[in-house]
C-alpha cells in the first residue's frame, strides 16, 4: 500500500460515487470565532451528514467500489462509532451484508444508530474497551469468514472518500484558504484533505489535532515511525486509537505542518461553548479542530482558516461527564481529602471560615464508613472564579485544616473524573 495510490484524481472520482448518498455540507462563516482570533474562520459542518459525521464518505466509496464477487462475500469493519454508522448506512443502501465490531464502551447513541442505519444487513459485535480491541476481533472474523475488510482509515479508497471533504471546501473558497485544521484519529480524514488541498495550493498549512490521551500520530511523527501507544484515554472516542495507519502516517509525514495535542478538558469546554454560543452539538472528536484555535492563535491571525467539525454523534448521557471535565479544566472544580481534627466544630470552620460566599460544596463523603465522624472526608468544591482557589487554600491553611488537594496524577483523581 503506497501513498501515491491516493491522488486528487482518485478523490475527484470518489466525489462522483459518494454524491449518490452524501450531502454537500455547509461551510459556515464563524463570526464569533473570527472576531476572537482576528481571522476569517469557517466551519465545515460534517456533523450535518445523515450519519452525522464525514465517515460515510470513505465507507461508501470503498463499498461502492467492490466487485460483485467481493460484495457477495460481505464486509467487516471495526469502529469507535462513526465509521460503523457509515458502513451500516452503505450496507443498507447497497444491500450488502456486514459485520461491525465496536468497543463495549461506545456511547449507546452510536450503537443504536448503527443498528438503525444497517437494519437487517448488519450485525453489531461489542468487543473490548478500545478501537484496537475491536479491530483485532474484526481481523479474526475477516480471516474466518473471508469477508472484505473496510478499514476506517488505512485504505487508499477510504482515504479518497474522506478527501471529498477537501474538494467541497476548495470549491467554496479556492486559493483564499490559508490553513485547514482537522482531527486525527487514525489519520484518514486529514490524509485525504491534505492530499487534495496540497495539490491545489502547495503553500496551504494543514494542521492536525489529537486528544492528549491518545497522541498516536504526534508520537509517530516525532519518532519517525508508527508506534503503538501502550495505553490511551478513550474519552475522545472518535479520535482515540493506539496506532495510526502506515499509509496515513506516510501522507501526514509528507504534508502536515504540525500536530496540536488538546487536553480532554479543553475539548469539553469547546463543546459547551459551541452549544451555548452557536447551537452546534459536537462530539468530542468533532470539537477538536475548534479547540485547537487557542494554541494556533498567533499563526492564524489575519488568515483564512477552515476547521473541519468532523462529527456530532454525542450521547446526551455523557453531558454530566463533559460538564465535570470542563469545570476541572477551567479551574472551577477541585477535590480534596480533608482530615478533620477529632474535636467539635471542624466542619463548621470549613463552611464559615474557609469557603467564600460563592464557593459551593458539591461532594462530601466520609471515606471510612465505620468511623464517619473522625475519618478523612472526600470534599469537592466548585468555585465561581479560577482565582478563588488561592484564597480558599490560604483560608484553609489559616484555620490549620489538614488537607490534600487531589491532582491529576493521583490515582484517586481518575476515579472522580
Domains of the chain plus CATH, in order, are 3-54+157-322 (3.40.50.1100), 56-152 (3.40.50.1100), 331-416 (3.30.70.260)
* pLDDT computed for residue 370 by the predictor: 60
Across the 417 residues of the chain, what is the mean pLDDT of every consecutive 10-residue run? 73 97 95 98 97 97 97 94 94 97 88 95 94 93 97 97 98 98 97 98 98 98 97 92 96 98 98 97 97 98 98 89 95 93 79 94 81 76 96 94 88 76
Q: Is 386 tagged catalytic?
A: no
Whole-angstrom distance, CA of residue 66 vs CA of residue 88: 15
pLDDT of residue 366: 83
Note if 72 is an active site residue. Answer: no
Catalytic residue among 113, 310, 326, 333: 310
Catalytic annotation, pick one of 44, 53, 55, 333: 55
What residues have CB less than 8 Å from 233, skipping those under 6 apart?
Answer: 211, 212, 213, 214, 240, 264
Picking from 245, 235, 244, 230, the residue whose alpha carbon sits closest to that of residue 211 is 235
pLDDT for 328 equals: 94
- Output the nine-digit C-alpha cell for 230: 501502550
pLDDT at 135: 92
Closest CA to 202 of 249, 258, 255: 255
Amino acid at each position: 500500500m503506497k501513498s501515491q495510490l491516493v491522488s486528487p484524481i482518485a478523490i475527484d472520482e470518489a466525489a462522483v460515487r459518494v454524491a449518490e448518498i452524501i450531502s454537500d455540507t455547509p461551510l459556515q462563516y464563524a463570526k464569533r470565532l473570527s472576531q476572537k482570533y482576528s481571522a476569517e474562520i469557517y466551519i465545515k459542518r460534517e456533523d450535518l451528514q445523515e450519519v452525522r459525521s464525514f465517515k460515510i464518505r470513505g465507507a461508501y466509496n470503498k463499498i461502492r467500489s467492490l466487485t460483485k464477487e467481493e460484495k457477495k462475500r460481505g464486509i467487516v469493519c471495526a469502529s469507535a462509532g462513526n465509521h460503523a454508522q457509515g458502513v451500516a448506512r452503505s450496507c443498507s443502501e447497497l444491500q450488502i451484508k456486514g459485520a461491525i465490531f465496536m468497543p463495549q464502551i461506545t456511547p449507546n447513541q452510536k450503537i443504536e444508530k448503527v443498528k438503525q442505519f444497517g437494519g437487517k444487513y448488519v450485525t453489531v459485535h461489542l468487543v473490548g474497551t478500545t478501537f484496537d480491541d475491536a479491530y483485532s476481533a474484526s481481523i479474526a472474523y475477516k480471516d474466518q469468514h473471508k469477508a472484505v475488510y473496510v478499514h476506517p482509515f488505512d485504505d487508499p479508497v477510504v482515504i479518497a472518500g474522506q478527501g471529498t471533504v477537501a474538494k467541497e471546501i476548495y470549491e467554496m473558497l479556492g486559493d483564499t484558504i490559508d490553513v485547514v485544521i482537522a482531527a486525527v484519529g487514525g489519520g484518514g480524514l486529514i490524509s485525504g484533505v491534505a492530499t487534495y488541498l496540497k495539490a491545489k495550493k502547495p503553500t496551504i498549512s494543514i494542521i492536525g489535532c489529537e486528544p492528549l490521551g491518545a497522541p498516536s500520530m504526534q508520537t509517530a511523527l516525532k519518532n519517525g515511525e508508527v508506534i503503538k501507544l501502550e495505553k490511551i484515554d478513550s474519552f475522545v472516542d472518535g479520535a482515540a486509537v493506539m496506532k495510526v495507519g502506515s499509509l496515513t502516517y506516510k501522507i501526514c509525514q509528507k504534508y502536515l505542518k504540525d500536530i496540536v495535542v488538546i487536553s480532554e478538558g479543553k475539548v469539553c469546554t469547546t463543546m459547551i461553548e459551541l452549544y451555548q454560543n452557536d447551537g452546534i452539538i459536537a462530539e468530542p472528536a468533532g470539537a477538536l479542530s475548534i479547540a485547537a484555535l487557542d494554541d494556533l492563535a498567533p499563526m492564524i491571525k489575519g488568515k483564512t482558516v477552515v476547521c473541519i467539525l468532523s462529527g456530532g454523534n454525542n450521547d446526551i448521557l455523557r453531558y454530566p461527564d463533559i460538564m465535570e471535565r470542563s469545570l476541572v479544566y477551567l479551574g472551577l472544580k477541585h477535590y480534596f481529602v480533608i482530615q478533620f481534627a477529632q474535636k467539635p466544630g471542624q466542619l463548621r470552620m470549613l463552611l464559615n471560615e474557609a469557603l467564600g460566599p460563592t464557593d459551593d460544596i458539591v461532594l462530601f463523603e466520609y471515606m471510612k464508613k465505620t468511623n464517619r465522624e473522625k475519618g478523612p472526608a472526600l470534599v469537592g468544591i466548585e468555585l465561581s472564579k479560577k482565582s478563588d482557589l488561592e484564597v480558599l487554600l490560604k483560608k484553609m491553611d489559616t484555620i490549620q485544616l489538614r488537607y490534600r488537594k487531589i491532582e491529576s496524577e493521583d490515582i484517586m483523581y481518575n476515579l472522580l473524573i
